[in-house]
Amino acid sequence: MPVSTQSDSVTAAASPTLVTPSLLRDWPLPAPGADKYSRGSVLVIGGARATPGAALLAGTAALRAGAGKLTLAVAESVAMQLGVALPECGAMGLPETAEGSVTGEGLDRISSYLDRADAILVGPGLDDLDLAEELLRALLERESGSGDPGSGDDNPGDGPVVVLDAYALGGLVKVADQLEPWKGRLILTPNPMEAAVLLERDVEDLAADIAEIADKFQAVVSCQGFIARPSGGDAPEESELWKMTTGYGGLGTSGSGDVLAGAIAGLRARGTTSAQAACWGTHLHAAAADRLASRLGPLGFLARELADELPALMLELNT
């Protein structure tokens, strides 16, 4: 891939690599493979009783991005409804509070799904910051046990990629000192307000700040048209910061971020690198908005319509 080497995050922020159709064609997605099992499995954890649609949007986007299998782990009071709304998924119910918020308990119910997933997306539809933190702690504690996939005690970097979005990002700050089990396999998809939470200060220079978040959490980060990976290391990509060259204001619509996170999780499950999934997913998300804006107008298209555009866009770019 024709990108330039960046010596550190400051230099990278000053001259990001532009994500263009030409660059993506030189950075092709994995071949589809023979069946659904070869395209990877995505597990989405979220979907409180009041916000089940966020998990639905994320899961739909993961399948539209080409993932082979999908499971939604959501509040038990809405699991059946989501399973009917998206019959292509498996739907598992998680313990919830009286108000319908997903708790950090009950991971034993989805233990086999956690073990088999290629990408785990946590956050879409979670609606309680404290409980989101508890959920992250429970997931990390599970992986820290001897013999668990991705155990930090055995093979750091092994195991499924973990994509964090929405309220899960608020919980991430509270568990920053416990992230060793997820080292090398975190992807974060904050909006600028969530980026400020991760930095614990106001966002001043988005490009430089996204690079700082990537280094702080050793994660690939996608935020409002910028993608950064941790500086240095042995990543196959030479660049450390990328910038989108497309995208429309209509992306500022309810559920848009859930579609982005789901698309990135779906692409990553297919066997891309984390940076490739973030660059491709962010471009596809923005290009889908451009396409809808040209047909429907700059405002008023729906987040679920973004996901429907993904297959055709991938076909155009990956041939």
Per-residue pLDDT of 229-241, as tens digits, reads 999 877 788 889 9
Average of pLDDT values for 73-100? 97
pLDDT at 298: 86
pLDDT at 146 > cutoff 50 = no
pLDDT at 196: 97
- Higher-confidence residue of 148 and 2: namely 148
Average of pLDDT values for 6-18? 60
The predicted model scores a pTM of: 0.92
pLDDT at 192 > cutoff 50 = yes
pLDDT at 19 > cutoff 80 = yes
Place 132 in a pLDDT band, splitting at 50, 70 and 90.
Answer: very high
pLDDT at 168: 97
Place 151 in a pLDDT band, splitting at 50, 70 and 90.
Answer: very low
Place 38 in a pLDDT band, splitting at 50, 70 and 90.
Answer: confident
- Higher-confidence residue of 153 and 180: namely 180
- Higher-confidence residue of 10 and 117: namely 117
Average of pLDDT values for 173-186? 94
Taking all residues of the chain, what is their mean pLDDT, rounded to a whole number? 90
- Among residues 119, 151, 168, which one has the least CA distance to residue 273? 119
Burial 261-292 (b: 16+ CB within 10 A, else e): bbbbbbbbbbbbbbbbbbbbbbbbbbbbbbbb
Average of pLDDT values for 30-43? 88
- Higher-confidence residue of 153 and 22: namely 22
Kindly list the strands in the beta sheet with 186-188, ordered across the sheet, starting from the edge strand earlier in the chain.
17-19, 241-244, 226-228, 219-223, 186-188, 161-164, 119-122, 41-45, 69-75, 90-94
pLDDT at 3 > cutoff 60 = no
pLDDT at 65 > cutoff 50 = yes
Please give the Cα distance from 233 to 235 (Å, whole number): 6
pLDDT at 156: 44
pLDDT at 14 > cutoff 70 = no
Q: Which of 126-140, 175-189, 244-258, 295-309 has the lowest mean pLDDT?
A: 244-258
Place 161 in a pLDDT band, splitting at 50, 70 and 90.
Answer: very high
